[in-house]
Structure 1
């Protein structure tokens, strides 16, 4: 070892320690930054920073996938992806004020700190309390100024004690009742007890006086166990409400409904109501009477005008707590019921009072959650799902943007969670859920595009990572029903609003049409990810999605080469199929062939039947195009060559293929006859696109043939589903 220089010794003595500390701090900072980025990537579902990832090196058909996977949606908030991963239950800060107002109905406290949604404005759509005092207290606590907050709480406590002392002197019986039933949780019937200014309207003053008397009477009659509701009491309240619109009787009726709906509630204060429900007969009568009478009575004081409620009227203050109590009771009943008929009855009632739900952000979120729960419940029938979707769609139309985002996100995630296909019957249910979910995306073009972009991009990221890793675990992340049904969902959204119903919503069509290309790229990548024989069913599912997208939007997608690849695989050209006595597989409900079906004749026959139907549909979709005779030539040559090589081994399908080829020739001659009558050149693209636009593809020879095959497949599938359900 050589001699150490003098400069080095000086550096070691004076600066080495500091330099090492600085470098250590830099390393720690870099590691901390990497950990944060990794956590951020996990939260957004991207698995890391996608912009810095290696460029995609997959097959040529999906060479644009990397650019889309690393892109960001335009015109969207920076926090959108955080919102997409956020917990919908996190924003419940406004729920306390709703509970207080419901409790005010039970106690008599008429406090006004509430989270009303502004009756058409989006100011309070985030669910925050409209009373600014709560927000100030929260800010002070976050800033660490706990002294002021404690002083405020002490003042409120002193004021509350003074009110209790005044009530003790004024009404000792009522005070005793409150002591027995937990004054913090039990709140019984009294309006304007917080020193609010009296209403100038004489009718409102009389109503409040009646309400106070009703509160006192209910509290005195209740005792420690509460007054038992009878049929006579219900009839009396119903008669008073019908004849005089008595708010006094309405409050009693809604308290009885609250007691009925919370009979089995886990809330400790649920049973501290002034009424008791005994027996199913009284329960049923209480619920039916309330649902029949309450909306009309509430509408007398807070009418619905053009789907909205005027919250600035003086009458609104009288019934606001009543409305909250009624909505809370409906939601509680909806959570408890298991009978489909009763659930449908309650959903219809919720649909009637959607404007009242839309007034309160907390109840709107709770209703959205309940409707989504029923929509995705395995025990729910199709009628419940359809009603839940219709009510949710109506609620979204009347709610601010925050609720719209929550509903769209919840609908898609509910669909994905329940999209695992096991039988043909479950596949039918999933198709119904998909169609219902698509309907919800027609409301807001911007919100629909944002959600569609983010979730399609997530699918593209998963596919890109799988093609780069090339492992069994990465393939399983793609080849599963959740991924395939997610693709089917967005295909249906694009096919519906950029094709079938493009004229109904041109703005939505122009917004979503840019997503047709990335969805197509993702599907093509899935098709070619593992091109083996056991995944022929998955390839058929993907080709059907491409066919649906191409037929609806008019965008040409090369489907025939991918379908003919199946016919030219080694399973048909290179080996002899194994004989088997297994029953034919149900390819519609499978993504890959079961182990016992691989290389068997019964499996390959099912594949051929599906492929020939797919070929007929794909060719029929282009049968009215002006270039059809030339476009179909390569496919017919390959099909004739396949029939000549292996047709003798598949006699039944060789005959079916011969019929398909004959229909193709007939259609080509028909298109050629129409082309002989035209008087424009090939450069006139507008006229070329309008060629045979008055002729339906199903009326051509190949179209009629494809329609007959679809009809046969539909009958076979219906028979199989009936056998599954009956067995």
Structure 2
């Protein structure tokens, strides 16, 4: 064999490992695509079970199946849903928690050009071209690429060629290649002067690399920062950026990262380098590329030609620091500083994607505190508001999948974190109504298809695909989104209500189907979760949902009417962190008493939600009759709850009397729907007898839950 070329050696040292990994991932992706194509062909030939027998046992399934095959209608029919097809479970029958990896989802095509600028040729972009573009081996030849670049620059500035011949070209890889990729085609004379100034500054900053690299000292940092602040010195700015890059890559696992002429030794110098860079560099950027109204004022001209290369260097270092830090206080500090740079991130599509990916990683990390999650959300929300629509799509999809993957409830202490993540996701979905509808339609439809398949197969595996925390918390997420923007904030953002309201019905059908999928006493906790979701949706939106029949079905279970409960000394169970009763709790009195407490609380909330309606006295009659019948049949076995039910019935009678008294004062007939809808609109639900009773039960339950969380945290 002949001697290997210099370019081959460089490629093996810097990119071979990454290239092999990329090819492995590419093969995996090809296999997955092939499997999906086979499944599609089988479905087209009618060989799958999707065309099986009709559902039986649940009336709502016909509507659910129709929604699973539906597309947006009306004005929203023109929205482009093609970008979300990868989320369609018909293409891959995996569970929601097994969707495509978020990191792969957010990578995108890193070889596309940034806005208002020519394509860059910095070392990282070369690596991304190798990953995404699949270029020929000739273009991977670094020696040939470098020669072409050198010839192009030498035509404009021969002095620069002489300088490069005397120095090691790899020592300026981070700034040097970016300079070439950021040249503007304005005036030859201005560009020549600009490049001469930059080369002079860089030649002064340049030092021999590797073992001969200059050790950064406190005096050097102070001088650079002072020179940047007082004189806007380009030379000092580049030196500080090189030192900052070196500091940020001290513990980097990227072996192909270019070397810099400066070396950081010790944590004291590391901290000083980072703080000096964060203090001085953004101010210098504001001189070369000022920010006006959260946007870079001018992305062209001499100053921008100088600034964009330096900005990209700073963003790379900042992102690398975010990846490496583990201390929550330091992470919060870096997120705040990164948020200041969002207008600059938006100028470079690739780094915007990387920033979104990093914020989502921090948002879903189990090792960070709630403060980091909130700051990550705030930065992500601002980034989405300033970025193009494709970035918003990535962020919305990423935050939902991040939430789902981290929504598995293991203890009651997890509920607080999951609730916070859900609230954060709901906030992010309040930026764009059309984008929120597209994501909501795709993922709610995905849940409907999972439920339809489970009801067709009716096996343990299919039930397990529905009865898990990821699926239930997905329902919780979309319930909260629709309850917020179609209810709580409907008056503030009417366009959201008008756009998202069409999703309320299919989501309600899915929740009803999940609650009745396995109607046994073992899954009473899951049914209670579903009833809570429907109650939240109905109360917020004002849309009537028949919740009382589902509650009374639980009360009329044989567990309470005919079967004798087993006495047990087990400790009380929290239904908030359970989807089914543990085996040792089944049929025990302690378990059934907890179920009755939850059912009576939901019963009071469901009746209270209708207590200011003009038809409340007549509406509540069937429920009152059934509750009195249950009290007569099961009251002796459940004496404590019989007394509680008696108190509930008294509050219902008092509320009915209150509505009748108010109704006697009205001066309109039943045909006046506007007057009927506005009936008792000035009276709060908590002001009614049943509303006050339900509120007191909620407060007691909240106190019990807080006590259990504290006890769990102390363990």
TM-score range, shorter chain: 0.7 to 0.9
How far apart, in 2, do the equivalents of 1:248 and 1:34 lie? 54
Query: Contact 1:560–1:615 at 8 Å: present in 2 too?
Result: yes
**In structure 1, which of residues 564, 570, 591 is the aligned counterpart of residue 552 of structure 2?**
564
221, 226, 229: which one aligns with 1:239: 226
Q: What are the equivalent positions in structure 2 for 1:676-715 lying under 5 Å apart?
A: 676-715=664-703
How far did residue 371 of structure 1 move? 0.6
Distance 1:405 1:210 in 2: 41
Residue 160 of structure 1 corresponds to: 150
Q: Please give the residue correspondences for 1:52-451 in structure 2 after superposition, counting only pairs within 5 Å.
A: 55-73=54-72, 74-77=77-80, 79-84=82-87, 89=104, 95=110, 115-118=113-116, 157=147, 160=150, 175=165, 177-178=167-168, 209-220=196-207, 224-270=211-257, 272-309=259-296, 310-451=298-439
Of residues 512-521 and 313-322 in structure 1, the stretch that sits farther from structure 2 once superposed is 313-322
Higher relative contact order (CA 8 A, sep 6+): 2
Matched, 1:656 2:654: no
Distance verdict in 2 for CA 1:66–1:59, change over 3 Å: same
Q: Distance in 2 between matches of 1:485 and 1:587?
A: 15
Seen in structure 2, the aligned counterparts of structure 1 residues 191 and 324 have a Cα distance that, compared at 3 Å, is closer
Aligned to 2:30: none
User: What is the rounded CA distance, in whole Å, between the counterparts of 1:575 and 1:257 in structure 2?
Assistant: 72
Q: In structure 1, the residue corresponding to 2:265 is in which secondary structure?
A: coil
**Offset at 1:548?**
0.1
Q: Offset of 1:620 from its aligned partner? A: 0.7
C-alpha displacement at 1:157, in angstroms?
Answer: 3.5
Residues 1:466 and 2:454 aligned together: yes
Contact 2:412 2:577 in 1 (8 A): yes
Q: Shift of the alpha carbon at 1:219?
A: 1.9
Quick check: 2:555–2:630 contact (8 Å CA) kept in 1?
yes
Could you say if the C-alpha distance between residues 697 and 172 of structure 1 is closer, same or farther in structure 2, counting changes exceeding 3 Å?
same
CA deviations over 1:79-128 (Å, ceiling 9, x no partner): 233354777647857646xxxxxxxxxxxxxxxxx832249xxxx9xx99
Q: Distance in 1 between matches of 2:48 and 2:693?
A: 51
Count of aligned positions:
658
Residue number in structure 2 paired with 1:483: 471
Shift of 1:641: 1.3
Residue 173 of structure 1 and its aligned partner are, at CA, apart by 8.1
- Aligned partner of 2:508 in structure 1 is 520
Change (3 A) 1:200 1:461: same
Change (3 A) 1:439 1:76: same
| Structure 2, gaps ≥5 residues long | 1-32, 89-99
Counterpart of 2:563 (choices 561, 575, 578) is 575
1:722 corresponds to which residue?
A: 710
- Checking the alignment, whether the CA contact within 8 Å between 1:636 and 1:661 is kept in structure 2 is yes
Post-superposition CA distance 1:406-454 (Å, at most 9, x none): 1111011001101100111101111111110011111111111111001
CA distance in 2 between partners of 1:128 and 1:200 (Å) = 20
Q: Name the SS of the counterpart of 1:265 in structure 2.
A: coil
Question: Which residue number corresponds to residue 670 of structure 1?
Answer: 658
Q: Does the 8 Å CA contact 2:364/2:406 hold for their aligned counterparts?
A: yes
Deviations 1:481-533 (A, max 9, x none): 01000001000000000000011211111110000000000000011100000
Query: In the TM superposition, what is the alpha-carbon distance from 1:36 to its structure 2 partner?
Result: 6.4
**1:11 aligned residue:** none
Task: Provide the C-alpha distance between the structure 2 equivalents of 1:314 and 1:34, rounded to a whole number of angstroms.
Answer: 50
| Pairwise CA distance, 1:246 | 1.3
Change (3 A) 1:501 1:212: same
8 Å CA contact retained: 2:106, 2:398: no
- The verdict on how the C-alpha distance between 1:631 and 1:279 changes in structure 2, with shifts beyond 3 A counting, is same
Task: Map 1:8-87 to 2 at 5 A.
Answer: 37-40=37-40, 55-73=54-72, 74-77=77-80, 79-84=82-87
Distance 1:83 1:449, change over 3 A: same
Q: Relative to structure 2, which stretch is displaced further, 708-717 or 158-167?
A: 158-167
The Cα of 1:200 is off from its aligned counterpart by 9.0
Distance of 1:169 and 1:304 partners within structure 2 = 34
Could you tell me how far 1:648 is from its partner in structure 2?
1.9
Instruction: Give the Cα–Cα distance (whole angstroms) in 2 for the partners of residues 48 and 317 of structure 1.
Output: 60
Q: Is the 8 A contact 2:171 2:209 kept in 1?
A: no
Contact 1:256/1:277 (CA < 8 Å) preserved in 2?
yes
Residue 168 (structure 1) shift: 11
Q: How far, CA to CA, are the matches of 1:712 and 1:253 in structure 2?
A: 59
Q: Which of the residues 581, 590, 608 maps onto 1:620?
A: 608
Taking a change above 3 Å as real, the CA distance of residues 602 and 467 of structure 1, as seen in their structure-2 partners, is same
SS at match of 1:268: coil
How large is the RMSD of aligned CA atoms in angstroms? 3.6
CA 1:261/1:129 → structure 2, altered by over 3 Å: closer, same or farther?
Answer: closer
In the alignment, the residues of structure 1 paired with residue 276 and residue 607 of structure 2 have an alpha-carbon distance, to the nearest angstrom, of: 60
**1:651 shift after superposition:** 1.8
Cα offset, 1:158, TM superposition? 5.4
Q: Bigger shift: 75-84 or 156-165?
A: 156-165
Alignment of 1:510-549 (within 5 A): 510-549=498-537
Q: 1:196 and 1:598 mapped to 2: Cα distance?
A: 74
Change (3 A) 1:526 1:170: closer
After TM superposition, the score normalised by the length of structure 1 is 0.83
Q: Work out the CA distance in 2 between the residues paired with 1:443 and 1:432.
A: 18
Q: In the alignment, what sits opposite 1:634?
A: 622
Report the alpha carbon displacement of residue 192 of structure 1 after superposing the two structures with TM: 6.8
Name the CA distance, whole Å, in 1 between partners of 2:584 and 2:248: 53
Cα distance, 1:294 vs structure 2: 1.1
2:121–2:180 CA contact under 8 A, matched in 1? no
305-314 or 359-368: which moved more? 305-314
Distance across 1 between alignment mates of 2:35 and 2:177:
55
For structure 1, the 5+ residue unaligned runs are: 1-32, 97-113
Describe the shift of the 1:674–1:236 C-alpha distance in structure 2 as closer, same or farther (beyond 3 A): same
2: CA distance, partners of 1:532 / 1:594: 13
